[in-house]
Amino acid sequence: MISFILRRLLHALPLLLAVVVLNFLLIAFTPGDPILLLVGDFPAPPEYLEQMRREYGLDQPVWVQLWRYLAKVVQGDFGFSFAAQQPVATLIVERLGVTLELTLTALVFASVGGMVLGVAAARMRGRWPDTAIQTASSAGYSIPDFWLGQLLILTFAIGLGWLPSQGNSSVRDATEGFAGWLDHMRYLILPAFALSLRYLALITRITRASMLEVMGSDYILAARSRGASEWTVVVVHGLRNAAAPVLTVIGYNVGFILAGSALIEAVFAWPGIGRLLFESISRRDYPVMLAILLMVSATVVVANLVTDVVHRLIDPRLERT
């Protein structure tokens, strides 16, 4: 197992490196002065421009520049955002918490809901609930999540007035403690649902397919013939064995949910990384954009790594391959 993890790590490192190189190439091959790209469109003092030119060694060959860029990134130095008057790393760390809250809520909801619906559809295969779940999941997979967000705002915030739609807490009557948390939760519901629907649909579909495959196997028949309860058969014997492909799909999508939060945060004015990306694009704040790209890609690589290890742990048959 240890050697497997080490092998996967060795596999993941070049991917991470490639992401950093891609970032570097985006800077290096952009029309215009790359330093202006690194600094952004906002007025920066000429001394800073000079300092950047020296630090990135623009008079040096490309590979020296790449090396210096790498060294900076490894040290967590993503430059300074003149638009926000803050180091890029600080900006991102500040916003990371609220984005993780949104994406993890969406991920958990999509995973639990998807597995429940998938199992239900598989159990009722061919009957109308199965058809309904399958139709709904293919629709849910196709609806653009940012439009779903607008629809939810139109329905639940503007039409019915049940839930707030912009931001992540009430500014005017800010409350502490449990009431404050409850207030915050009300803000979380709509964006988390909008972000999760696509993945809810995907996980439903995978769970259904995987369950159908497992439920036809001999050990299910054996469990049934022993008189095991339906719950034991479906959940203990069925879902546990059907879980591996489902968990893989969940793990492989962690980074993509994080990326998708950009659109959702723009729709709901959720003050996280995605909103930061949206703002940095509209004010052409390149250092922030590139740092976010790096962060999201790194998340995908790490999430895939963790997924492979977990997959291996729950399915020992892979050991032999």
Q: Is 204 in the site for another protein (CB under 8 A)?
A: no
C-alpha dihedral, 292 to 44 to 85 to 64, nearest 10°:
40
Coil/strand/helix, residue 102: helix
CB of 165 to another protein, least distance (A): 8
Q: Is 284 in the site for another protein (CB under 8 A)?
A: yes
Tell me which residues in 141-160 interact with another protein (CB under 8 A).
141-144, 146-147, 150-151, 153-154, 158
Q: How big is the site for another protein, counted in residues (CB under 8 A)?
A: 50
Buried b / exposed e across 288-318, counting CB within 10 Å, b at 16+?
Answer: bbbbbbbbbbbbbbebbbebbeebbeeeeee
Structure tokens at 302: 């790490």
Q: Which of 137, 113, 114, 95 is nearest to 288 (CA)?
A: 95
Instruction: Identify the sign of the CA torsion 22, 26, 29, 33.
Output: negative
Q: Is 217 in the site for another protein (CB under 8 A)?
A: no
Mask of contacts with another protein, 75-114, x by CB under 8 A?
----------------------------------------
Mask of contacts with another protein, 5-34, x by CB under 8 A?
---------xx--xx--x---x---xx---
Tell me which residues in 113-132 interact with another protein (CB under 8 A).
126
> Which of 180, 189 has the CB closer to another protein?
189
Give the CA angle between residues 75, 80, 85 to the nearest 5°. Answer: 140
Q: Is 289 in the site for another protein (CB under 8 A)?
A: yes
CA atoms within 13 A on the CB side of 52: 20
For residues 125 and 212, the answer to whether their CB atoms sit within 8 Å is yes
Q: Is 304 in the site for another protein (CB under 8 A)?
A: yes
Residues in contact with another protein by CB under 8 A are: 14-15, 18-19, 22, 26, 30-31, 37, 126, 135, 138-139, 141-144, 146-147, 150-151, 153-154, 158, 209, 212, 255-256, 258-260, 262-263, 266-267, 277-278, 281-282, 284, 286, 289-290, 292-293, 296-297, 300-301, 304
